[in-house]
């Protein structure tokens, strides 16, 4: 194939799309600049105009990946037409679904391999950190409503996030054979999580039948 040094359309966006599609099917370690070159029929020099190396490409993918993560996992956190507990429950389901549907991207976003790049472009303490700020805000809403214990909202959000991350990692990395029972396991996990977060003597309101069955006023 003859490779050309020209821009057709928005070449950078095309490179990013190809890279994201590649990661959807293959491990991130298999992604190279040559993959982009071969897919577009352009020379390596054309790629270097946009990405000086693979790390630069990965940085962009991480940014785009967190945008995708935020869009797909946080809508219920911001939906105040639903009860607080339902917002948490449904968001947790979306979190697990994101990991199951995008395992390679999920590992890239939250794994250690490219943590040095991730930490350069975002921090969990940033107000705009993908998903986390919305989660912490929802925790604070729960505290104001008297539904959640009035403790450090940052720490409470970390506990919730870590719980969702834990079950997601178990599922996609197969540390335990939970794929066939992950929905049941999620419900049990969610009940246990709320036990430590919900304020005493609070009647939990939910439109989800399962939650109404298992969550009673705390004594």
Percent of residues, the chain, with pLDDT higher than 90: 49
- pLDDT level of residue 207 (50, 70, 90 thresholds): confident
151 contacts 164 by C-beta, under 8 angstroms: no
CATH code linked to domain 1-52:
1.10.10
Per-residue model confidence as pLDDT tens digits over 31-70? 988 899 899 888 888 888 898 889 999 999 999 999 999 9
| Residue scoring higher pLDDT (8 or 119) | 119
Per-residue model confidence as pLDDT tens digits over 116-173? 888 888 766 666 666 888 999 999 999 999 999 999 999 999 999 999 999 999 899 8
**CATH 1.10.357.10 in the chain, residue ranges:** 58-214
Per-residue pLDDT at 85 exceeds 60:
yes
Per-residue pLDDT at 217 exceeds 70:
no
**Positive/negative CA dihedral, 76, 77, 81, 86:** positive
Percent of residues, the chain, with pLDDT higher than 70: 88
Per-residue pLDDT at 73 exceeds 80:
yes
Q: Which CATH class is domain 58-214?
A: mainly alpha
pLDDT at site 2? 40
**CATH 1.10.10 in the chain, residue ranges:** 1-52
Residue ranges of alpha helices (H) inside 74-149 are 84-101, 103-110, 115-121, 132-144
pLDDT at site 9? 53
194 contacts 215 by C-beta, under 8 angstroms: yes
């Amino acid at each position: 194939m003859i490779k050309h040094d020209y821009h057709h359309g928005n070449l950078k966006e095309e490179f990013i799309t190809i890279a994201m599609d590649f990661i959807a099917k293959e491990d991130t370690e298999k992604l190279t600049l040559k993959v982009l070159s071969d897919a577009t029929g352009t020379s390596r020099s054309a790629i270097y105009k946009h990405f000086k190396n693979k790390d630069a490409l990965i940085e962009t993918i991480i940014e785009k990946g967190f945008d995708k993560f935020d869009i797909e996992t946080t809508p219920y956190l911001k939906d105040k037409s639903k009860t607080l507990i339902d917002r948490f429950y449904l968001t947790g389901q979306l979190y697990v679904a994101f990991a199951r549907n995008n395992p390679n991207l999920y590992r890239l976003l939250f794994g250690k391999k490219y943590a040095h790049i991730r930490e350069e472009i975002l921090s969990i303490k940033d107000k705009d950190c993908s998903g986390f700020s919305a989660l912490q805000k929802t925790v604070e809403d729960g505290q104001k409503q008297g539904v959640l214990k009035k403790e450090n909202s940052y720490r409470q959000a970390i506990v919730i996030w870590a719980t969702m991350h834990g079950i997601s990692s178990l599922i996609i990395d197969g540390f335990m054979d939970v794929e066939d029972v992950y929905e049941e396991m999620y419900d049990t996990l969610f009940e246990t999580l709320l036990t430590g977060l919900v304020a005493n003597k609070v009647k939990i309101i939910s439109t989800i039948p399962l939650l109404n069955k298992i969550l009673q006023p705390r004594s």
